[in-house]
Amino acid sequence: MDQSLADRLTAWRRHLHANPELTLQEANTSLFVQEKLRELGVPFVAGVGGHGVVATIARGSSNRSVGLRADMDALPILETSGALHSSRNPGVMHACGHDGHTTSLLGAAALLSQDPNWSGTVQLVFQPAEEGGGGAKSMIADGLFERFPMERIFGYHNWPGLDAGAVAVHNGPVMAAGNRLIFTITGHGGHAALPHLTRDPMIAAAHLTLALQSIVSRNVDPLDSAVITIGIIQAGTAANQVPGEVQMRGTMRTLSDGVRDAVEAAIHRVAAGVALTCQVEIDVQIPRGNPVTLNTPAEREIAAEAVLEAGLPLRRDMLPAMTGEDFAWYLHRRPGAFVWIGNGSAAGGQELHNANYDFNDDILPAASGFLAGVAKRALRD
C-alpha cells in the first residue's frame, strides 16, 4: 500500500472515531461509507438490513464470488483516551475498533479497484448493529446472500495483546456463543426493621449470584469452557425498605452446543432451588444470542495462505476468546473464516471495550491488505 492511501485511511478512521454512533443508529456512518465508495468509484446498495451497505467490485470473466465484512457501530462508553480524535458524541465511543474495521474494508475496496490481477466478484459488506443489535441476522433476513451472491465470506477483528499486524487463524472455535440472562425475583416488600414480615428478594439475589458461579466449577467439565457473569442488579428506592422485586441481568458464554444446553438447564435448576429456599418467585429468561464463531476448514486454510502471501506474521496457536461475534451467523449460511489481526500492546487500558482504547492506525495497511488478499486467494481457489 502506498503512503498516500495509508494516510487517507488514517484520516478516515479518525473521522469515524470522532463521530461514533450506537447500534441501530449508524446513519451518518453509513453515509460516510457511501461517500468514500463513490470517491473510489465502487458501486453499492445502501439500506441493507437497516443502515447496512453492500458494495460490489467485479472484474474479468470468472463467475466466482466472495464476501468481506466489517462492522460499523460503537458502544455506550464515555471515552477517556485523550486522543485528539476522541469522540465528539459524549457517552458513545468506538471502544471495540469497528471504526478501524470499516476503514480497513474501504482500504480493501481501494486496493481491489486498483489491482487488475484478479477475476470474479467481491461483495463488501458494511454491517450495522454488531454490538447486540442483530445486524448480521438483519442483513441475512434482507436477502444478503440472495441479492449479493457470495460463495464464501471472510472478516477480522483487531486484537489487543497480539503483535501489531500479526494475524491469528484458529483451528477450532474463535469466539464463544452468548446468551443473555434475565432474572426477575419477586418477594414481599416491607419495613427494613421488620424483615420477618417480608420475603426479601435481595437475599435471594445474593444467594443466586453466588450459586450461579458453582455451575461452571461443578457442572461443567474442567476441560470445557463456560462463563456466567451477572453485571446488573437493580432494586429498591429507600434505604429503610425491603423491596418487593429485584432485577438481575448478565451473560453466559460457551464454546459448544452441548455445554450451552447443560448450563442453561443448570441455571433454571439453581434458580428454582434459591426460590424455594428464600420463599420467593424467580422468573428466568435466557434468550440465545450469537452461536459459536467456528471457521470452516478449507476457508481457514485459505485465510492462512493469504496471510503468508501478504507477508504478514501468522499465528496458529491462539486460544479462543469467550467474547462473542455475530459474524457467526454468516458462517451458519456460508463457508468462511474470521481471523484476529494484532492491534499491539493492550497496556494502559488498550483492551477492547475499555474507555481508553483506540484502534492502532499503523495496522490499517496490514488489515486492508489481508482483506484484499484473502478475497483474491478465495477467488482463485
Segment 201-256, tens digit of pLDDT: 999 999 999 999 999 999 999 999 999 999 999 999 999 999 999 999 999 999 99
Confidence of residue 116 (pLDDT cuts 50, 70, 90): very high
Pairing of strands 153-160, 65-71: parallel
Confidence of residue 57 (pLDDT cuts 50, 70, 90): very high
Residue 17 sits in the same domain as residue 79: yes
Report, as an integer, the average pLDDT of 27-47: 98
Report, as an integer, the average pLDDT of 286-304: 97
Residue 209 sits in the same domain as residue 344: no
CA distance 379 to 373: 10
Residue 239 sits in the same domain as residue 371: no
Q: Which of 250, 285, 320 is the last residue of a domain?
A: 285
Residue 185 sits in the same domain as residue 44: no
Q: What is the pLDDT of residue 33?
A: 98
Does pLDDT of 262 surpass 90?
yes
Does pLDDT of 381 surpass 90?
no
DSSP classification of residue 132: S
Residue 207 sits in the same domain as residue 167: no
Range of the structural domain that residue 185 is part of: 177-285
Confidence of residue 353 (pLDDT cuts 50, 70, 90): very high
Segment 67-111, tens digit of pLDDT: 999 999 999 999 999 999 999 999 999 999 999 999 999 999 999
Residue 14 sits in the same domain as residue 142: yes
Nearest-10 Cα torsion for 89, 93, 94, 99:
0
Report, as an integer, the average pLDDT of 152-162: 98
Cell of 254: 460457551
Residue 218 sits in the same domain as residue 334: no
Cell of 253: 458464554
Q: Which of 267, 285, 303 is the last residue of a domain?
A: 285
Split into its structural domains, the chain has a count of 2
Q: Which residues 6+ apart lie within 8 Å of 117 measured at CB?
A: 376
- In order of 3, 19, 103, 234, 364, the CA distances from 8 in angstroms are 9, 17, 10, 46, 10
Residue 166 sits in the same domain as residue 37: yes
Does pLDDT of 1 surpass 90?
no
Report, as an integer, the average pLDDT of 341-362: 96
- What's the CATH number where 305 sits? 3.40.630.10
Q: Which of 285, 308, 341 is the last residue of a domain?
A: 285
Confidence of residue 197 (pLDDT cuts 50, 70, 90): very high
Q: What is the pLDDT of residue 188?
A: 98
Residue 114 sits in the same domain as residue 23: yes
Residue 281 sits in the same domain as residue 304: no
Query: 10 Å Cβ neighbour count for 43?
Result: 11
Q: What is the pLDDT of residue 346?
A: 96
CA distance 104 to 110: 10
Report, as an integer, the average pLDDT of 280-298: 97
CA distance 161 to 151: 32
pTM: predicted TM-score of the whole model, two decimal places? 0.93
% of the chain at pLDDT higher than 70:
100
DSSP assignment of 35-69 equals HHHHHHT--EEEEETTTEEEEEEEESS---EEEEE
CA distance 89 to 185: 36
Residue 183 sits in the same domain as residue 171: no
Of 228, 287, 231, 289, nearest to 263 by C-alpha is 228
Of 345, 344, 348, nearest to 81 by C-alpha is 348
- What's the CATH number where 195 sits? 3.30.70.360
Confidence of residue 286 (pLDDT cuts 50, 70, 90): very high
Is the Cα torsion angle 369, 371, 372, 375 positive or negative in sign? positive
Residue 120 sits in the same domain as residue 102: yes
